[in-house]
Structures are given as structure tokens and as C-alpha cells.
Chain A
Amino acid sequence: MKCYLVKDLMVPISEYATVPEAATLFEAVLALEEAQEQYQQSRYSHRAVLILDKNKRVIGKLSQMDFLCALEPRDADLDQIRKFNQFGFTRKAVALQQEEYLKKSPPKLDVYSKAAKLKVTDFMQRPSEGEYVDENTSVDMTLHQLTAGSNLSLLVTRGKEIVGVLRLVDVFAAVFHAMKESETQLLDGTT
């Protein structure tokens, strides 16, 4: 495979959707939308928003999944039901119990309006130690970090600074093209 470095494939932080830590979920979604519009002109699609502190340092990431989780109804009973997989129940069984419970609960009409005002910091994921990678690391080396942690992206560092985001989709594309190139060369050689 062509020897890519992380910095060759990363999305620079300046082109990524970001919001300050005081932002609401709605503001985060707007930031994502804005970044998507810019995507029409650039090669990047955006699936997450980075959360920055006062010093513009990245303190967390809000993914599409985190956003949807924030919309899910939440109370102590539902939390308890969602723990059922610990007790050996399948996802289907947990969903069935949740559905039954929600059927009996009063309808929550203003769910979107309420969720829009929630603080983004309550739903963001704080990056763990294994989610950082230096910009000069080879992509080969980074593959394991992505797969072992089942990460959809890694934060790219230059010294102490976060300079970009390495996304699974870009790594996959690079690896796939390299594989295709290598197979083509092999076929050309044999014919």
C-alpha cells in the first residue's frame, strides 16, 4: 500500500464542524448543517461535531448517534429496561419491553423542542486515550487503533494541539484504492 501518513488523510480542524461548550444540541445541528453545505464545494462529508472549550481545545465529540440518543425518551424505568442486555436478553426483547412501556406512557409531543434546548456537553463523548493519533503516524499503524477501539474517527495531534480528524471512511477509501491498485498491477503482470 502507498505509505500514507495520517496527515495525508485527515480532515483539517478548520474544515470540521465545531461548536463552543456552551452550545445547545440545536446549535450543534446547525453547525453540522453548515459544514455539510460547505461540503458541496469540498471533499468532506461531516457526521460529527467537535466541542471546543474557551481555549479552542477539543473537549468532546457529538456524533449522529449521540444526537439521536438525546432524542430518546428517558426516565428511570427506561434506563432500567435498557440495562436488560446485561441479563442475557436479546436486543429484540429489550426493544419489545421498551415499546410496551412507551405504549403505556403519556405521549411526549414536544420531544424535539425539549431536546433542542439540551446542552451539547451532556451528550458528547469525551475522547479517551486511545482516540488520539499523531499526524505523522503511518495509516498502516493507525488501522489497528481504529479497529481495536471500534472508532469511527480519531483526533489527530501535532504536539499538544489537535489539528484534524482522521475518519474511518477516508482510511477505508485509501486502503481500498491501494488494494485495487495492487490487484490491477498483479493482473497486468500475469497477462
Chain B
Amino acid sequence: MKELVKLFDRIIQRVNINLRELEFDVNPIVNKLIPTAQMTKFYAFYGITPHHPLNFVFKHSNLSGSYFLGRCRVTNSLLYKSDIRGDELKKNGDLFQYQGFNIPVSQDEEIHIDDSFLIKTLVHNFSHDPETLERFFIRDTVSTHYANIHGSPSAGCFMGPFSTVDLTTMRDCVIGAYAYVQAGEISHLNVDPGTVWVRQPGVFNFMYRYPRGQLNDYIYFSDGPPRGVFMDFVEDRKEAFQRVFEVVNIENQVAVPGSASLDRFAVIKPKTSIGENVLVAQRAYLQNSTLGKGANAQENCYIINSHLRGNNVTAHGAKIIDADMGNDVFVGFNSFLRGRPDARLTIGKESIVMPHTIIDIRKPMMVPPGTLVWGLVRNAEELKTNSMGLKDFSKIDNRICKGNLLFEGSGSSFVTAFKERIHHILEANGAFYNGNINRGHAQRNQNISFNTIQPYPEGEKEGMYPTIIIEP
């Protein structure tokens, strides 16, 4: 296991060098986060379909329990139970639109992970950096439990648990626990835990900060493993996933329409119903819930005792418990929406729940249709402070401060940008498939084979995977 330990030290040193200006030391934080013995236990696996490219190169790395799809190159890295989903990468000949430019893509895009340590992290989408269209790079980066690297090339960064960086190139940054960043390009920034920041320079700037101290109940990360409600919630359901990963052939426990896709590595508990054009990704967890036509549950989503009427986006890592969601409700990354059996949460149609929103109620609550909700909402009072009708939000043309939210710029552009993105996500997921056109992930991911790969079982290279090249 000597090689594995050496590799860990190498990665930590490289990340620390990048973060020296922020005086951030990764070592004490991640040193004992995943014992090296744990990293030798699990196989890695990759998907094969006729609809996705197949091109993997794994060199001098540990890939324990990780999943790969598409085109990906991993070198000198540790990937622990991470999902590297390359099914939205750009193709040779595509045109990338950026600030009025149409930039041709000269070769198929590839995810490059170098000198990085990713723990239970999701990597998805494609590079939105116009300077690096063909390479979605992640280098000298450490990310921790349930972080999302979504369309965001990264160099020299640290990401706390349940953090998300979305459509943003980041260099030498620290992203705190449960922080969400969508800002195009950032460098040398230390983003505090619980910051939700969406910026389009010159157009709008949205920032919400969780009240200090109150986020700690949900996610607390200092030294040692992350703690709090979020971790307890996923740990309580861990066993169900162990079963789906251990069994080779698993029977569908629910009827799946021909236009829908249920990943073999998702957990489906009884009394679950899946409608047409539904997409259920790997590591999703469904229990006693209904997913109406065109709804989706992405990686690390939990939908329990809930009803989604249709065309609902439940983005990566979002959790919906004891809730009723109207048509076209969007629930952003890592949101935690928890009603109670005797206090259901209802969210009206066409509402947008911002990424990293916590709704955790003890009394029944109704979010009116067409509402934008953000931040921490535990009762009607907090809902009043942390929400606004989308129509009213669209009228903002200067700046507004509401509770812990600061918004500056054009509300109308902000709402339009979100609506367009939600439409694009539904389209990409195959929610609009009509039997002929508008095929998306729900239709393309139906027949997928999985191959497993294994590390050296003992000796100095224990836990390291041999160099593996996989091509069609």
C-alpha cells in the first residue's frame, strides 16, 4: 500500500502549494477522512452503451468504487466512490457559443483528472471554459463528500462536503461546505460555507449566506468526517446501496415504461411508480414515491414518500421527503426538502427551488405556484423572507436585500436564465421524448452494460489500479 500513501502525500502537497496564498492547509482536513485500507476494498466500474463514446485511460491511480461513462483520463489520482459522468461532453464539430462567438470544437471533449483526490464526488456536464473546450480538466484538486463538479474545470482547489461548483472555471479556490458557486470564472477566492452565489458579470449577481451557526446542524465539517443531518440522512440509507453494489444481476422491482430509464445502481424501495420519460440515475434512492412523466432523479437524489407530478428536475444530490411537487418544479443541487408525515410540504407548479436550499418543516406548508425559494426555510415566516414570486423577482432592475439575500442587476435576466436552463435539462434528460424525436438520457441510458475493474490486491501497489486503456 506504500504507493497509495505516496500518491496521497503527493496530491496533498500539490493542492497546498496552490492554496498557499489563502493559507489553507488541506492535510489536517483530509488526512484521516478516508482510511487507505478502505480505498483498497471496492471495485471500479464503467458503462458501455451504443450511444456514448467509450474511451478511458487510467494511470497510476486508485479508483475505488467509482463509476465512469464516456471519455475520461485519470492520472496520479485517488477517486473514492465518485461518479465521472461523461455523457454530456462536447463532440468534434459542435459549436460552442460564448459571448456572441461560435467557437468550433476541434475534437471530442475528454475529462482529464490529474493529481486529484475526489471523495464521493460527482463530475458531470462539459467544460464551459471557452479557453479549454476539448479538455474538462480537474487537477491538483481535493473534493469531499457529495461535492458536485458540474461543467467546472478546476485547478488547485479544495471543495468541502456537499459543495457545488457549477459552470465555473476555478483556480486556487476554497469552496466551503454546502457552498454553491455559479460565476463563470473565479480564482484565489475562499468561499465561506453555506454561500449560494450565482453571478453573470454585468447582468446579475445573487448571493445568499446561511445564518452563521444554523447551518452546522445540517452540515458541520472541521476535522474528521463531516457531520450533521445531511450525513446522518445518507448514512441511514447506506445499507440499501451496499446491496445493489454487491449483487451482480438485479431485478427491477418496479415497472419501467419503455421511454424511461432506471439505473441498475439506483435503490428502489416498494410502492414506487415511474412514469414515461423518467430518468433515474445511479446512486438515486426512491421510496414510496411517484415520478410523473418527464420527471428525473439524478445522482445522489433521495425521493421518499413524495409525489412529483411531471417534468420535475431534481438536480444532483437533492432530497425530497414527504412532499408534493407540482408540474415543472425545479429543485436545485443538494437541496434538502423535508416535510413530515403529518406536515407535508407542497410546492406549487413552475416554482424554482434554488440550489442548496433547505426546507425543513414541522407544520404543513405550501409554497405558491411560480415561486423562487432560497436559503433556510423552517416555517412560514422564513418562507416569507426567503422567497418571492418569479413575476415580482423579474421586476428587480437595480438591487434588493431580503434577509440574508443580496441581489443586484436584472431580475428578469436571472429568471430567464434559470428557466432556459431548466428547459435544457429536461430536454437533455429526454423529458420531451415523443416516441420519435427529443431522445435524451432517459432513452439513451436504458441498455447499459457495466464492466468492473480491480486494483492490485496486495503488496506495495495494493489498492493501485494497473494502467488500463479501454477503447471501443
Complex interface: chain B residues within 8 A of A99 (CB): 401
From A43-51, A76-84, A148-156, the one touching the partner chain is A76-84
**Other 18 A-B pairs with CB < 8 A, given A84-B207, A90-B408, A93-B399:** A80-B192, A80-B209, A84-B406, A87-B197, A87-B207, A88-B183, A88-B199, A88-B201, A88-B205, A89-B205, A89-B207, A89-B406, A90-B399, A93-B401, A96-B401, A97-B406, A99-B401, A100-B401
Whole-angstrom CA separation of A39 from B207 in the bound complex? 49
Instruction: Identify 22 residue pairs between A and B in the complex whose beta-carbon atoms are under 8 Å apart, listed by A's number.
Output: A76-B212, A80-B209, A84-B207, A84-B406, A87-B189, A87-B197, A87-B205, A87-B207, A88-B199, A88-B205, A89-B207, A89-B408, A90-B399, A90-B408, A92-B399, A93-B205, A93-B399, A93-B401, A93-B406, A96-B399, A97-B406, A99-B401
User: Smallest Cβ distance from B116 to chain A, in angstroms?
Assistant: 25
- Do the beta carbons of B406 and A96 come within 8 Å of each other? yes
Whole-angstrom CA separation of A178 from B189 in the bound complex? 46
Q: Which B188-208 residues have a C-beta within 8 angstroms of A?
A: 189, 192, 197, 199, 201, 205, 207
- Band of interface residues on A: 10 to 19
Q: Is A40 part of the binding interface, using a Cβ–Cβ cutoff of 8 Å?
A: no
User: Quick one: which of B189, B199, B401 contacts A97, CB cutoff 8 A?
Assistant: B401
Whole-angstrom CA separation of A3 from B201 in the bound complex? 48
User: Smallest Cβ distance from B129 to chain A, in angstroms?
Assistant: 18
Whole-angstrom CA separation of A87 from B180 in the bound complex? 13
User: Smallest Cβ distance from A137 to chain B, in angstroms?
Assistant: 33
Whole-angstrom CA separation of A160 from B207 in the bound complex? 49
Complex interface: chain A residues within 8 A of B399 (CB): 90, 92-93, 96
Which A residues are closer than 8 A to B by beta carbons?
76-77, 80, 84, 86-90, 92-93, 96-97, 99-100
Chain B residues touching A, majority SS: strand
Whole-angstrom CA separation of A92 from B199 in the bound complex? 17
Whole-angstrom CA separation of A100 from B400 in the bound complex? 10
8 interchain residue pairs of minimum CB distance? A100-B401, A93-B408, A97-B406, A96-B401, A93-B399, A97-B401, A88-B205, A88-B199
Complex interface: chain A residues within 8 A of B207 (CB): 84, 87, 89
Q: A93-B399, A96-B401 are in contact. Are A77 and B212 (CB under 8 A)?
A: yes
Complex interface: chain B residues within 8 A of A90 (CB): 399, 408
Interface residues as binary, B400-427 with A (CB distance below 8 Å gives 1, 0 otherwise):
0100001010000000000000000000
Complex interface: chain A residues within 8 A of B205 (CB): 87-89, 93
- Do the beta carbons of A87 and B401 come within 8 Å of each other? no
Complex interface: chain A residues within 8 A of B212 (CB): 76-77, 80
User: Smallest Cβ distance from B177 to chain A, in angstroms?
Assistant: 15
Whole-angstrom CA separation of A57 from B207 in the bound complex? 46
Of A80, A90, A93, A100, most buried by chain B (CB within 10 Å of CB) is: A93
Whole-angstrom CA separation of A88 from B184 in the bound complex? 12
Complex interface: chain B residues within 8 A of A88 (CB): 183, 199, 201, 205
Residue of B nearest to A77 (CB): B212
Complex interface: chain B residues within 8 A of A96 (CB): 399, 401, 406
Residue of A nearest to B189 (CB): A86
Complex interface: chain A residues within 8 A of B192 (CB): 80
Whole-angstrom CA separation of A80 from B401 in the bound complex? 15
Residue of A nearest to B201 (CB): A88
Complex interface: chain B residues within 8 A of A100 (CB): 401
Complex interface: chain B residues within 8 A of A76 (CB): 212
Interface residues as binary, B158-188 with A (CB distance below 8 Å gives 1, 0 otherwise):
0000000000000000000000000100000
User: Smallest Cβ distance from A105 to chain B, in angstroms?
Assistant: 13
Whole-angstrom CA separation of A99 from B212 in the bound complex? 18
